[in-house]
Amino acid sequence: MITATEVVAGVKSGNISCEELVWRIYERIERSELNCFITLNKAAALAEAREEDKRRRKNEREYEKENGRKKLLGVPVAVKDSISTQGIQTTCASKILTGYVPPYDATVVEALKREGAIILGKTNMDEFCMGTSTETSFYGPTKNPHDLSRVPGGSSGGSAAAVSPAAGEAVLALGSDTGGSIRCPASFCGVVGLKPTYGLVSRYGLIAYANSLEQIGPLASNVSDAALLLEVLAVKDERDSTNFSLEKKNNREKEGVKGMKIGVPREFLEGEGVSPEVKKAVWNAVQRFEELGAECEEVSLPNLNLKHALAAYYIIAVSEASSNLARFDGLRYGLRTGKDEDWHTTFSRIRGEGFGEEVKRRIILGTYALSAGYYGKYYLKALKVRTLVKNEFEVALKRYDLLATPTMPFVAFRLGERIKDPLSLYLADVNTVPVNLAGVPSLSLPCESSGAGAGVGAGAGAGKLPIGLQLVGGHFEEWKILRAGLAFEQATTL
Amino acid sequence: MIGKEEVGHLGWLARLELSEAEKELFERQLSSILDYFAVLDELDLDLDSETTSVEPTYHGKKDVVRADEPRAALSQAEALRNAPKTENGYFKSPRIL
């Protein structure tokens, strides 16, 4: 698959026809068995691509002057269905939002358009971002491009699968990450995904699940493309009161990892359930970093108890969810079925019909955690554990430039394997959720392939399942983890 | 830990109609999830009191306000376009009383 940088250069110079590129991608999407998309924006995207080509042909010099600086000129981008797109149906993969067409664009979508990107459509996901496998979608699961019998990870499963070179259904994609929803599918699909520092990217227009934890971020087939997309997404926005302007300029001149200090936290590797092949792959990656000139050492984070962090994460996430999802009542938008009875009965019925099982489970759990008498036992306690987790990361990231861990404890599991046991799915997030509690940035990139696949994949490398490496950096130090990721990628053939 | 009746009551609080089968399923699943949450009881940090050395982390910045200037908003037609039921330019709700 072509990279975003290549598309921008090609469209600018006229070596690539934007329309042909977009057309080819839709051909692949329509032939695909993966179910990456919920809604396609085909007619508008093709028209826009055609327009782009026409503008360039008409007056090359003017075109260069007007568009030369656009960072995503002609780049086909897929957008997760949790992100509002003006005029394009946005469902959050839920029955309750079927037919909802947002009257405005999310800030990140405005940014994509400003920089010349072409919106391909809206990608499949776990309903309201609640899941680790994209199996809770009302529109059916997305399949892993490396093995069609396995999950792509979640919740941004459609976005990750789409940018996988094995699928080629988008050049770039947007995901959102509340507890690993960008990094988990990046790991399972063998692509690059980044969860930015909390506050770096505006959440205006992101349909809220747990707003103190979530960030929109890039998914791409390579590290440079992810960095390019992040640059576009990180704009100042006063419509999100938690948005920070990016004052620190990313240090792009320096390259490589020579002299970088990398900590390898024992807790993330030695936890129960981390598969031996994942452990081995991460140690091999650490060795590669040493060969590239980084100083790596095993470290213990004694105050970061992953079990406590996981419990605290889920308590905070379900509590915020129970409050955020109260807005879906079928009054102003969304599902409204049956005959109106009294207010409470009508809304209870609509919500009972419109929400899927996992969403209901989390709303009930959150309602319980916030109900009178339990606030101190669950929610307040979780917020204090959050402080402990945050402090521990801050201390560690003063000693080290970054921390290296497995993204997921294991490779992509089979469709249907875990969905019946919600707790087993929650436990899979053990390495990703502490990062959201701390609000620090984290990159997942493929580091090795395991031989565990069934060999029924869609594309090249079929039968091999990717293993993801997670690089965690300090607040607003995305550039460090991207620099390390780039150095690693350049030194690795998968 | 959590009974079927309590699940039903939580559903009522959350305005979420649950079938009998869902109540039974959730009763079982929520109990095992709450058992897991009990790992936090190991922590001895006066965690359930407001006043301890460990401050809770709330999110975001404090007191963020924008300049109080009028700006463009959705038109009435745009605001109503997604509404399943409208009447005379209003959202139509089920009766409240």
Within 10 angstroms of residue B59's Cβ, the number of other Cβ atoms is 16
Q: Determine which one of A32, A155, A221, A442 is catalytic.
A: A155
**Which CA distances in Å does B85 have to A95, A173, A181, A218, A354?**
18, 35, 35, 37, 17
Structure confidence at residue B90 (pLDDT): 95
Size of interface A-B (CB pairs under 8 A): 164
Q: Is A181 a catalytic residue?
A: yes
* Interface residue of B16, B20, B44, B95 to substitute, partner A, most A CBs within 10 Å: B16
Specify the CATH number for the domain of residue A257: 3.90.1300.10
Q: Average pLDDT in the A121-133 region?
A: 98
- pLDDT-derived band of residue A218, with 50, 70 and 90 as boundaries? very high
Show the tokens assigned to A164. 């996988």
Q: Average pLDDT in the A105-123 region?
A: 98
Whether the per-residue pLDDT at A303 is higher than 90: the answer is no
Alpha carbon A454 to chain centroid, angstroms: 26
Phi, psi angle pair for A26, to nearest 5°? -65, -35
Q: Average pLDDT in the A135-141 region?
A: 98
| CA A85/CA A89 separation, integer angstroms | 7
Radius of gyration of chain A (CA): 22
Half-sphere exposure of A212 (CA within 13 A, CB side): 22
Q: Is there a contact between A22 and A10 (Cβ–Cβ < 8 Å)?
A: no
User: ∠A307-A197-A410 over CA atoms, to 5°?
Assistant: 40
A30-49: per-residue pLDDT in tens? 999 999 999 999 999 999 99
* Interface residue of B1, B4, B15 to substitute, partner A, most A CBs within 10 Å: B15
Name the pairing type of β-strands A442-450 and A192-195: antiparallel
Percentage of residues in chain A having pLDDT higher than 90: 85
Structure confidence at residue A292 (pLDDT): 97
* Interface residue of A239, A310, A358, A381 to substitute, partner B, most B CBs within 10 Å: A381
Contact B26 A364 (CB under 8 A): yes
| CA A180/CA A163 separation, integer angstroms | 17
Q: How many domains does chain B have?
A: 1
Which residues lie below 8 Å from residue A280, measured CB to CB, with a gap of 6+?
A: none
Contact B15 A390 (CB under 8 A): no
Structure confidence at residue B52 (pLDDT): 59
Residue B20 falls inside a structural domain: yes
Residues forming beta bridges with residue A467, ordered by sequence position: A448
Structure confidence at residue A118 (pLDDT): 98
Q: Is there a contact between A129 and A181 (Cβ–Cβ < 8 Å)?
A: yes
Show the tokens assigned to A257. 């990892």
Contact B17 A367 (CB under 8 A): no
Query: What kind and span of H or E run contains A465?
Result: strand A465-473
Contact B60 A212 (CB under 8 A): yes
Whether the per-residue pLDDT at A246 is higher than 70: the answer is no
When CB atoms are compared, the residue of A308, A330, A378 closest to B39 is: A308
Structure confidence at residue A115 (pLDDT): 97
Q: How many domains does chain A have?
A: 1
| CA A102/CA A83 separation, integer angstroms | 10
Q: Determine which one of A32, A164, A176, A181 is catalytic.
A: A181
Structure confidence at residue A458 (pLDDT): 44
Q: Is A155 a catalytic residue?
A: yes
| CA A352/CA A346 separation, integer angstroms | 10
Structure confidence at residue A455 (pLDDT): 46
Handedness of CA A52, A174, A81, A417 (dihedral sign): positive
- pLDDT-derived band of residue A337, with 50, 70 and 90 as boundaries? confident
Name the pairing type of β-strands A192-195 and A261-265: unpaired
Structure confidence at residue A459 (pLDDT): 47
CA of A139 vs chain B CAs: smallest distance (Å): 21
Structure confidence at residue A252 (pLDDT): 57
Q: Average pLDDT in the A144-169 region?
A: 97
Structure confidence at residue A59 (pLDDT): 81
Q: What residue type is A340 in one-letter code?
A: D
Name the pairing type of β-strands A261-265 and A295-299: parallel
Q: Is A307 a catalytic residue?
A: no
What 3-state DSSP class applies to A241? Answer: coil
Q: What residue type is A113 in one-letter code?
A: K
Measured between beta carbons, the chain B residues lying within 8 angstroms of A312 are: 40
Q: Which residue, A298, A292, A297, A311, is CA-closest to A269?
A: A298
Query: What kind and span of H or E run contains A45?
Result: helix A42-58
Between A66-70, A264-268, A456-460, B93-97, the lowest mean confidence (pLDDT) is in: A456-460
What 3-state DSSP class applies to A243? Answer: coil
Q: Is there a contact between A206 and A214 (Cβ–Cβ < 8 Å)?
A: yes
Largest Cα span, chain B: 59
Q: Is there a contact between A458 and A34 (Cβ–Cβ < 8 Å)?
A: yes
A244: which DSSP letter?
-
What 3-state DSSP class applies to A114? Answer: helix
Q: What ipTM did this prediction achieve?
A: 0.92
Residues of chain B with pLDDT under 50: none
Q: Average pLDDT in the A172-177 region?
A: 98
Phi, psi angle pair for B95, to nearest 5°? -70, 145
Domain that holds residue B28: 4-41
Residue B78 falls inside a structural domain: no
Contact A387 B47 (CB under 8 A): no
Domain that holds residue A480: 1-494
A423-480: per-residue pLDDT in tens? 999 999 999 999 999 999 999 999 988 876 554 444 444 468 999 999 999 999 999 9
| CA A309/CA A301 separation, integer angstroms | 12
Residue B63 falls inside a structural domain: no
Measured between beta carbons, the chain A residues lying within 8 angstroms of B95 are: 340, 342-343
Structure confidence at residue A457 (pLDDT): 46
Show the tokens assigned to B18. 């649950």
The DSSP-derived string for A345-410 is HHHHHHHHHHS-HHHHHHHHHHHHHHSTTTTIIIIIHHHHHHHHHHHHHHHHHHH-SEEEEESSSS
Q: What is the mean pLDDT of chain A?
A: 93
Q: Which alpha helices (H) appear in A209-342, and where do they start and end? A: 223-233, 266-270, 276-291, 306-324
Q: Average pLDDT in the A150-172 region?
A: 97
| CA A271/CA A379 separation, integer angstroms | 25
Radius of gyration of chain B (CA): 23
